[in-house]
């Protein structure tokens, strides 16, 4: 029977629980619960979780000030020696804080930049906090297996359900008052960190700028806030609210940039660059946040929704509707459930020392004695069972042979599809060239017919294709159409440079999505333009004059 597991996140404003199990390679969510809480202590927030189902093997997220994540570089040593080194470090920190500290550690994947050393990810939490969680969970009938940092749960959700490629991705779960970050290169975790600051930054900004209570600021944010660059506000309230949150958007941007900088420092990879940013959490749903961050970071920023790759057929209609509304907020809980249900997850399992000791005893000495007794019985049973196992292995071998044949056939079909896809890609490029040339020429000639100064005339109109960094046509996007216009001005023309500038400004206004370069002197001018520049690069019509 598949192992059922529950992931629980006790947040500052909402508490979430996701329960599910693996069916083959697919994770099926069978239950979801969400409750609203208004602050309060850890035990009080547990009471706000409306569970209508049992929650076995529960993993609970730790974030913000609840968990201290550190990185330590150590020489490659045996496991027993590494455990001893980590115990010394935890005891030193516990002695400094004056209270009990629970911890767990795991090695990061081997990094070429580490120079033969291991990088240890060490997570610590106050035992008093964990005891509060255990008491709150017990009051509502939940049995906790362990605690894990939210950033590690986010990484496991991405590894299982994200679009994992060879690039470097920054994952960010924006909660109400915490921001959990994981930086991943390919399938490998490079960095996990919890930061203070989240959606509350926007509430505080609105409350401060508009002089309203935080509750009203939160309502105004949900009704009117929009960070999209250049968006026109529809109402005065929308304009005031959107203007008020600009600074908070910059704070979130700074948190992400500081996480990247700290990652470079901790793992000593100074040349590390982010290729994509994936956002989740309640704060990620703020309209325009992705576009705002994308313009500043100059990389693709999008929402991470792992539930698109999860089987939700086991949910009842009410739970399905609730999860659909809060799916961005439930990503961490899903990652915890995946960690509990699967045996191949990257994991940190933090437990209070008393609980850890009891589990070590029941999982060690007692079972060692029982294992010796069972071994004697097994020796007698094995001889009788061997013949049956041989027959079963032969049947399994036949099944595996059939499976290999199916896999080979699927591989052949896949290779044929790849060849077909390459041919279709080339056809699409040719269509882009043909359509793009016609579109650019048509719009350019339409503009020149109306907007060309009387003292100017066009001497050459040429279609081209290729790469041009100044026009935003990078090699990553392939060759794209470019229209090159050359012309002359009358010798008696008055202020040809001014007329040319006005023409360029009119062209930029008429076609705001176009990217162009232009030149002018007393008797001639030139304009190179394209409608197919990379979207993340803003248009600057005055760049040529500034240069």
Average pLDDT over residues 250-256: 94
Among residues 509, 532, 516, 512, which one has the least CA distance to residue 435?
Answer: 532
Beta bridge partners of 481: 465
Average pLDDT over residues 136-161: 94
Q: In what order do the strands lie in the sheet with 456-466?
A: 456-466, 480-489, 524-530, 515-520
Q: Is-above-0.85 flag for pTM?
A: no
- Residue 154's φ and ψ, nearest 5 degrees, are -60, -40
Of 467 and 182, more confident: 182
Integer Cα distance of 437 and 27 in angstroms: 48
The H or E element spanning position 242 is helix 236-244
Domains and CATH numbers, the chain: 1-149+307-363 (3.30.420.40), 163-303 (3.30.420.40), 434-546 (3.30.980)
Integer Cα distance of 293 and 252 in angstroms: 9
DSSP 55-72: --SEEEEE-GGG-EEEEE
Among residues 207, 176, 195, which one has the least CA distance to residue 254?
Answer: 195
Contact between 33 and 16 (Cβ < 8 Å):
yes
Integer Cα distance of 304 and 158 in angstroms: 8
User: Which residue has 């401060």 as its token pair?
Assistant: 208
Q: Tell me the per-residue pLDDT of 220-235, one tens digit each, with 9 for 90 and over.
A: 888 888 888 877 878 8
487 class by beta-carbon count within 10 Å (0-12 exposed, 13-18 middle, 19+ buried): buried
172, pLDDT greater than 80:
yes
Terminal-to-terminal C-alpha distance of the chain: 69
**Tokens standing for residue 486:** 């050359």
544 class by beta-carbon count within 10 Å (0-12 exposed, 13-18 middle, 19+ buried): middle
Integer Cα distance of 472 and 535 in angstroms: 8
The total number of residues written for the chain in this structure = 547
Q: What is the mean pLDDT of the chain?
A: 86
Residue 545: predicted pLDDT:
41
> DSSP secondary-structure letter at 2?
P
Among residues 126, 120, 52, 49, which one has the least CA distance to residue 333?
Answer: 49
35 C-beta neighbours (distance < 10 Å), count: 17
Q: Please, which pLDDT band fits residue 538 given cuts at 50, 70 and 90?
A: very low
């Amino acid at each position: 029977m598949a192992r059922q597991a529950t992931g629980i996140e006790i947040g500052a404003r909402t508490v979430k629980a996701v329960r599910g199990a693996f069916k083959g390679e697919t994770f099926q969510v069978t239950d979801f619960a969400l409750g609203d809480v208004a602050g309060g202590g850890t035990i009080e927030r547990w009471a706000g979780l409306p569970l209508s189902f049992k929650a076995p093997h529960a993993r609970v997220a730790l974030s913000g000030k609840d968990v201290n994540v550190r990185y330590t570089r150590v020489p490659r040593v045996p496991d027993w020696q590494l455990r001893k080194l980590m115990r010394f470090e935890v005891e030193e920190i516990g002695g400094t804080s004056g209270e009990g500290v629970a911890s767990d550690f795991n090695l990061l994947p081997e990094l070429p930049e580490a120079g033969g050393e291991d990088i240890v990810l060490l997570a610590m939490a106050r035992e008093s906090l964990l005891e509060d969680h255990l008491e709150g969970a017990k009051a509502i009938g939940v049995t906790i297996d362990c605690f894990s940092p939210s950033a590690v749960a986010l990484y496991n959700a991405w590894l299982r359900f994200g679009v994992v490629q060879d690039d470097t991705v920054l994952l960010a779960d924006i909660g109400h008052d915490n921001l959990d970050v994981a930086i991943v290169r390919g399938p490998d975790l490079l960095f996990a960190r919890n930061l203070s600051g989240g959606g509350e930054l926007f509430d505080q900004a609105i409350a401060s700028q508009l002089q309203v209570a935080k509750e009203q600021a939160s309502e105004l944010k949900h009704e009117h806030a929009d960070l999209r660059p250049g968006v026109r506000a529809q109402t005065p309230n929308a304009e005031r609210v959107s203007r008020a949150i600009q600074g908070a958007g910059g704070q979130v941007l700074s948190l992400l940039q500081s996480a990247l900088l700290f990652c470079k420092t901790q793992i000593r990879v100074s040349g590390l660059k982010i290729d994509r940013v994936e956002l989740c959490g309640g704060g990620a749903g703020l309209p325009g946040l992705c576009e705002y961050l994308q313009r500043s970071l100059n990389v693709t920023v999008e929402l991470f929704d792992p539930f698109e790759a999860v089987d939700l057929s086991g949910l009842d209609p009410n739970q399905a509707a609730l999860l659909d509304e809060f799916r961005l907020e439930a990503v961490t809980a899903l990652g915890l459930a995946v960690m509990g249900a699967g045996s191949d997850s990257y994991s940190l399992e933090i437990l209070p020392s008393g609980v850890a000791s009891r589990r070590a005893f029941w999982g060690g000495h007692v079972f060692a004695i029982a294992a010796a007794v069972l071994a004697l019985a097994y020796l007698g049973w094995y001889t009788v069972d061997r013949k049956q196992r041989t027959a079963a292995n032969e049947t399994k071998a036949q099944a595996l042979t059939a499976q290999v044949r199916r896999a080979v056939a699927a591989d052949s079909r896949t290779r044929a599809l790849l060849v077909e896809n390459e041919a279709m890609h080339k056809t699409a490029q040719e269509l882009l060239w043909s359509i793009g040339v016609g579109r650019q020429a048509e719009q350019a000639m339409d503009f020149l017919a109306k907007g060309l100064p009387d003292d100017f005339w066009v001497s050459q109109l040429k279609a081209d294709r290729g790469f041009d960094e100044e026009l935003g046509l990078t090699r990553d996007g392939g060759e794209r159409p470019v229209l090159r216009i050359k012309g002359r001005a009358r010798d008696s023309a008055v202020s040809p440079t001014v007329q040319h500038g006005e023409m360029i400004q009119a062209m930029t206004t008429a076609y705001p999505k176009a990217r162009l370069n232009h030149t002018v002197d007393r008797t001639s001018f030139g304009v190179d333009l394209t409608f197919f520049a990379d979207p993340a690069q803003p248009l600057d019509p005055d760049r040529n004059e500034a240069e």
